[in-house]
Amino acid sequence: MNLAVTALNLLAMLFVLVIGLVALIVIVFFVVDRLQTHDAIRRNYPVIGRFRHLFTALGEFFRQYFFAMDREEMPFNRAQRDWVERAAEQESNTVAFGSTRNLNVPGTPIFMNAAFPPLEEQYAETKPLLIGPHAAIPYNAPSIFNISGMSYGALSRPAVRALSRGAAKAGVWMNTGEGGLSPFHLEGGCDIVFQIGTAKYGVRDAQGQLSDEKLREVSDNPHVKMFELKLAQGAKPGKGGILPAEKVTAEIAGIRGIEEGKPSISPNRHAEIDDWGDLLDVIAHIREVTGKPVGFKTVLGSSDPWEEFFAEIDRRGAESAPDFITIDGGDGGTGAAPMPLMDLVGMPLREALPRMVDLRDRHGLKNRIRIIASGKLVNPGDVAWAICTGADFVTSARGFMFSLGCIQALKCNRNTCPTGITTHDPRLQRGLVVEDKEDRVAHYAKAIVKEVETIAHSVGVAEPRQMRRRHVRIVQDDGRSIPMNRLFPSQDGLGRAPEA
């Protein structure tokens, strides 16, 4: 009995102490909040005002998991992410009961199924496509779907390693992004596209200029198949790359040729390229030095200035043309970008891609310049739409990030990515097991290609590159759809629109 009384007394004393401690904390916070001058809400509503910050911070997570419907979130909704997750895990991507997609939203593509689609024995294998016929070492690219530019620095070491290994298993290329070529890009033995950003990371001399010697060193690696000159990126047209200081480790600084521990901010454009002639000269120079195909990545603000670009190619001859053009949409993403550029600058890919394809075809360069579509293309329907529009290849960055386990936590720029993909915190990187994620990367890439082939067969062709604009309809503002070849009549180099 005495022991029970003693225990109750101790619990009562502990309860009083806890209440007293809580009261003391509240009083301290009350005084602090009243005296501080930075936050008006906390000054006017001490203690209680602090909950506003907590709820604001947690709001995006509550919306993602409890309140948002499958098709509501931005930039990628739950249905899109779940498809990638199932594909990466080799799970069934069939659905039951009915589609949750609203087919009346303007801009929605609807593929036109054929009355008599090909039988299985009539299917054709998608063959490799040659890029750079005038380069000393052309590239016979095997896959229609590949990994877009993501640099080591923006991504963690285990993320790059998993992507490299997975790309090799799936037979797709991997773009280095503008951060240079690291040993981790090469680890898996996949095909590499080396991206040259405005700061020339990895191929720059002591003054930050393009170094022919370093270009040769990179091109001597047999895994490096092409070079991509980055003019602009969809998430931040007119602004260079941004790598926060906390991500500039000694290793990354060495690979890029910059100073450790300081923010890495690239120029907003290549200083030596002032006009279209300069652009073609630089492309020709890199191709001559490396012997590999060379193209560029850009974002369209308008198609009008590009008329002069193609006119300059006409004057010089087809051999002067870039071997490929990567079109990134203004709706593309990145690890860190100013909000006005992310939200409001650059033409969306859905409008930009057909414009660039038509310019190329109107000038008779369809078999000379390959078009690569990039920007928010993570599911089979997105990829199939791009190929119908005229893209020869599609690349994705965030789709492959989802395959690595990205949960869209929106922490890419803070070095606190909870999945270890975009952080250099060793504790967080431990969560990303390369041996597991490399298989997920490969499964995702293969699933995309397989599902795009399924769409191609449904519309009545033997393989994806036989799809045309007439095979897809686009929903209009009134809810009705019209064939895409009526919106964007394809050109054949003679000003005609054969599909109209």
Which of 2-6, 218-222, 330-334, 379-383 shows the lowest mean pLDDT across its residues?
330-334
Does residue 449 or residue 61 have the better pLDDT? 449
Measured CA angle at 56 (ends 51, 57), to 5 deg: 100
Q: Is 90 exceeded by the pLDDT of residue 73?
A: no
Out of 32-46, 290-304, 423-437, pick the least confident. 32-46
Q: What is the pLDDT of residue 339?
A: 60
Angle at the Cα of 97 from the Cα atoms of 92 and 100, rounded to 5 degrees:
85
Q: Using CB atoms within 10 A of its CB, is residue 367 exposed (0-12), middle (13-18) or buried (19+)?
A: exposed
Pairing of strands 370-374, 324-328: parallel
pLDDT tens for 329-362 read: 766 656 555 665 555 567 889 999 999 999 999 9
Across the chain, mean pLDDT equals: 86
Q: What pLDDT score was predicted for residue 408?
A: 81
Q: What is the pLDDT of residue 255?
A: 87
Rounded to an integer, the average pLDDT of 160-181 is: 96
Cis peptide before 354 (omega within 30 of 0): no
CB neighbours of 435 closer than 8 A, spacing ≥ 6?
none
- The CATH class of the 120-487 domain is alpha beta
Residue 431 burial (C-beta neighbours within 10 Å; 0-12, 13-18, 19+): middle
Please tell me the predicted confidence (pLDDT) of residue 495.
41
Instruction: Give the model confidence (pLDDT) of 212-229 as tens digits.
Output: 999 999 999 999 999 999
Average pLDDT of span 285-298:
97
C-alpha distances in angstroms, 40 versus 34, 58, 293, 333?
A: 9, 21, 58, 34
The pLDDT, as a whole number, for residue 412 is 75
Q: Which of 72-81, 117-126, 254-263 has the highest mean pLDDT?
A: 117-126
Angle at 15 between CA 14 and CA 19, to 5 degrees: 115
Q: What pLDDT does 325 receive?
A: 98
Q: What is the mean pLDDT of residues 242-248?
A: 76
Mean pLDDT of 308-320: 97
Residue 109 has pLDDT above 80, yes or no: yes
**Cα–Cα distance between 193 and 290 in angstroms, integer?**
13
How much is the pLDDT for 500? 37
**Cα(271)–Cα(198) distance, rounded to whole angstroms?**
8
Mean pLDDT on 181-200: 95
Phi, psi of 260 (to 5 degrees): -65, 145
Q: What is the pLDDT of residue 491?
A: 62
Lowest-confidence segment of 78-92, 159-173, 192-206 by average pLDDT:
78-92
Sign of the alpha-carbon dihedral angle for 68, 72, 77, 83: positive
Mean pLDDT of the 446-457 span:
96
Statement: residue 275 has pLDDT above 60: yes
Token reading at 395 = 């690349």
Looking at residues 43-54, what average pLDDT do you find?
Answer: 74
Burial class (CB in 10 A: 0-12, 13-18, 19+), 16: exposed
User: What whole-number distance in Å separates Cα of residue 406 and Cα of residue 404?
Assistant: 6
Strand, helix or coil at 473?
strand
Domain boundaries, the chain: 2-67, 120-487
Q: At what angle do helices 434-459 and 78-88 cross, to 10 degrees?
A: 110
Q: What is the mean pLDDT of residues 282-306?
A: 95
Residue 96 has a pLDDT of 62
The encoded tokens of residue 288 equal: 């001559």
The predicted pLDDT at position 499 comes to: 45
pTM summary value:
0.85
Contact 388, 61 (CB under 8 A): no
Lowest mean per-residue pLDDT among 5-9, 246-250, 266-270, 414-418: 5-9
| Coil/strand/helix, residue 108 | coil
